[in-house]
Chains A and B, each alone.
Chain A
Amino acid sequence: KKMASKISVVLRPVKSIVVRFCPFESNVESTRKFLGCINHKKIQATNRNCEVTADVRHDGSEPLVDVMFADGERLIMKGANLTTIEMLTALRSRCNAKELQEEQKSKKKSP
C-alpha cells in the first residue's frame, strides 16, 4: 500500500491552504496527517509562496481543508470520512490538471 509521505504534490498552482480541525474530536486523524505531509520539505519546496495555515478550534466542527488556487478556484475537502491518501491524491490530480492547463496556455501564447 502506498505511504502517504511518498505522494508528491506540486503546489505551484496553489495560493494558500487552510487546515481547520478540532483536536479533541476523534475524526481528525487523517486531517492531521494530511497537514503533516503537506509541511514536508519536498512539497514545500515546490512552491515557497504557498501559505499553509492551521486553524485549531474547539467548537466541535468537523475537520476541513480549504485550498485556494491561483486562478481563484477553491477546493474544500471535508476530512471527517476521508483518508490522508485520498485527500493527497485528490489535491495532486487537481494540481496536475492545473499545471497542464497552464502549459497549454503558455504554448498557445508563444508558438
Chain B
Amino acid sequence: PLSAGWLPALQFVRRGSKAVTRHWKAMHFQRQKLMAVTEYLAPRPAVPPRCLAPRKETLEEDDGYVRLLRRQVEEVFRDNRMIAICQYNSMPDEDVVLMRHYLRKHNIEVKFVLNEIVRPVLSQSKYKNLLPLFVARNILLVSPETKAKEMLRVLKGVPQINLLGACIDDTILSRQGVENFAKLPSLEASQGQTAGALALLPSQTSSLLQRGSAHLTALLDQHIRRLQAGETGSPAEPAPAQSLGAH
C-alpha cells in the first residue's frame, strides 16, 4: 500500500498560459515535427498537361430555350418585310415603353435580341451581310409594312437608339439608304407614274405614224384651197385623192 503522503511522478507545471489560449501558442517540438512530416503534397501528373494534346471542350448542349429563340428569329426574318437593326444604349424604362407604344401604332414591333443567337441563324441564311452589324447591344424593329418615314420620325425623338441598317423586302440598306427610301413616293404613286410614262409612248407612236399622211392631207387641202381660189377647180381633185388611196 502507498504511504499516506505520496507525490505523483509527473507534475504539471502551471507556468505562464493555459493549454487553450487566445493568442497563437507555440507548438510542442514533437508536435511541430509531426506537422512538418505530415504536410499535404499535391499529386503531380507524370506528364505535364501542356504536353498532351488539347482536349476539345464539348460545345453548347443546344438547349431547347436556345433552339426556341433561334426559331423565333428565323420566323421574324421570314414573316416581316421590313427589319431595322438599331443600337440600343441604355434608356430609361418609361422611354422604352413610350417608344414601343408609338411604334405599335404603325404596326412596328420592337424585339430585343441576343447576338449569340442571331449570329448563327444569320450565317446560315442568306443575310450574311448583316452579320457585322450584330455587335454590342441591338434591337430589331420589325414590321410587315414598310413605313420608313414614321419609323425615322419616332427614332429621331429617341436619341439613345441609333439606326444602323435595315433589310427591306430582302434588300439590305444602310442608314442613308433608309432615309432615301423614306423620301420615295408611295408604291401606288410610283406605280401610277410608271403606268403613265409607259402609256405616253404608244400614244405618241400612233400620232407619229399618222404624221406623214396628216401632213400630206394638210398640204393637199391647202393646195386645193389655193386652186379653188385660183379657180382651176375639179381636174386637180381626183389626182390627189388617187395618190391618197395608194398610201
Closest CB of chain A to B136's CB: distance in Å? 4
How many Å lie between the Cα of A38 and that of B90 in the bound state? Answer: 9
Binding site for B on A (CB under 8 A): 23-26, 28-29, 32-33, 35-36, 38-41, 52-54, 56-58
Check A56 against B132 for contact (C-beta < 8 Å): no
Inside 8 A of B92's CB, which chain A residues have their CB?
Answer: 41
Take A36-B87, A36-B137 as given contacts and tell me if A24 and B132 are in contact as well, using a CB distance cutoff of 8 Å: yes
Check A29 against B175 for contact (C-beta < 8 Å): no
Take A24-B174, A58-B175 as given contacts and tell me if A32 and B165 are in contact as well, using a CB distance cutoff of 8 Å: no
Nearest residue, chain B, Cβ from A22 = B174
Nearest residue, chain B, Cβ from A5 = B90
Q: Does B163 contact A (CB under 8 A)?
A: yes
Name the interface residues of B115-140: CB closer than 8 Å to any CB of A: 129, 132-133, 135-137
Binding site for A on B (CB under 8 A): 87-90, 92, 129, 132-133, 135-137, 159-160, 162-165, 174-177
Extra contacts, 14 of them, besides A26-B132, A35-B162 (Cβ < 8 A), are A23-B133, A24-B129, A24-B165, A25-B132, A28-B135, A36-B90, A36-B137, A38-B89, A40-B90, A41-B90, A41-B92, A54-B87, A54-B162, A58-B175
Check A56 against B162 for contact (C-beta < 8 Å): yes
Check A58 against B87 for contact (C-beta < 8 Å): no
Check B162 against A24 for contact (C-beta < 8 Å): no
How many Å lie between the Cα of A53 and that of B156 in the bound state? Answer: 12
Check A23 against B89 for contact (C-beta < 8 Å): no
How many Å lie between the Cα of A49 and that of B64 in the bound state? Answer: 46
Can you identify 14 A-B contacts, CB atoms within 8 angstroms?
A23-B87, A23-B133, A29-B135, A29-B136, A32-B87, A32-B136, A33-B136, A35-B162, A36-B87, A41-B92, A53-B159, A54-B87, A58-B174, A58-B176
- For the residues of B in contact with A, the DSSP-based class is mixed
Inside 8 A of B165's CB, which chain A residues have their CB?
Answer: 23-24
Closest CB of chain B to A85's CB: distance in Å? 14
Take A23-B133, A29-B135, A33-B136 as given contacts and tell me if A39 and B89 are in contact as well, using a CB distance cutoff of 8 Å: yes
How many Å lie between the Cα of A29 and that of B135 in the bound state? Answer: 6
Closest CB of chain B to A18's CB: distance in Å? 12
Closest CB of chain A to B114's CB: distance in Å? 15
- Pick from B89, B133, B137: contact of A24, CB below 8 A: B133
Nearest residue, chain B, Cβ from A32 = B136
Centre residue among A23, A38, A52, A53 by max chain B CB count within 10 A: A23
Inside 8 A of A29's CB, which chain B residues have their CB?
Answer: 135-136
How many Å lie between the Cα of A8 and that of B162 in the bound state? Answer: 23
Inside 8 A of A57's CB, which chain B residues have their CB?
Answer: 175-176
Check B132 against A32 for contact (C-beta < 8 Å): no
Take A24-B165, A29-B136 as given contacts and tell me if A35 and B89 are in contact as well, using a CB distance cutoff of 8 Å: yes
Nearest residue, chain B, Cβ from A25 = B132
- Pick from A35, A41, A53: contact of B87, CB below 8 A: A35
- Pick from A23, A33, A39: contact of B90, CB below 8 A: A39
Inside 8 A of B133's CB, which chain A residues have their CB?
Answer: 23-24
Inside 8 A of B137's CB, which chain A residues have their CB?
Answer: 36
